[in-house]
A and B are shown apart, each in its own frame.
Chain A
């Protein structure tokens, strides 16, 4: 298995532009997570899905952030409009079930908003 695949790896955009981050979880995994990593706040959970349904989006910082999972093999995290403080590394992770298991992380997308 290729693991969790994220694209793009790097994104540089201007303030006010829309940004879309993409994630393909490991096949067969029921859970998908979006995490954000910053120097100030460390790693924080933004939102997670179970069987394509959003379960908890309490970590989403603002309405400018939205996430979707249209099918079991694809998810997007969108920021519209983007702001410089959104600059961070965004990780997608998946896990096979709700039991005792770890999260498997993608390579991350490094977002820079100028």
Chain B
């Protein structure tokens, strides 16, 4: 099992350019998440998808859109990149709280480093 995979690993954009970050999981998880990680700020939730067909805003959704393409894939789109979006982006997945498990562990991908000039 590959777990959670993300592409690309690294990207440089100019202000105003658009791009899509891809995420896929092979654990048959229901829930998927996009976080950004900045120094001193910890992980902040951008968007999440509790189950296939649903998406909801997290703590910092402005400037981003998401698509839950199917159960495996959850993409994050920056329509017009800004320097403030320079960050490391992590995708994560979990079984989902409705699975009945108490622990509800989130599994993270390796991250995408994004630099916006």
A binds B: no
